[in-house]
Amino acid sequence: RGFNRLTSLELLVKSQLAANELQGANATVVKAISHPRIELRENLKPKWLFIKACVEFRLKEHSQSFKTINSDAEYADHSRTYS
């Protein structure tokens, strides 16, 4: 139920972004990030923090978007490696 739900939420948020339903996308991200199993797989939390930052950026919450993208230390370390 956990990982399938997160996969479904990912498809939903991508559809919402494509349809410019930004408030809905934001609500979907909040639901996904609060999912109890998001910490169980190494790549899930950084992926959802990136999606959250993208939604915030589209909502013109640029400062919050940059805070979100840098909020996960592991993700921040990886982003420095590839820049």
Q: What pLDDT tens digit does each residue of the chain (83 aa) get? A: 567 899 999 999 999 999 999 999 999 999 999 998 888 877 889 999 999 999 999 999 999 999 999 987 655 555 444 43
Place of tokens 């349809």: 19
DSSP label at residue 71: S
Give me 33's structure tokens. 């990030």
Which of 78, 6, 50 has its CA nearest to residue 58?
Answer: 50
Residues in the chain: 83
User: In a 3-state reduction of DSSP, which class is residue 21?
Assistant: coil
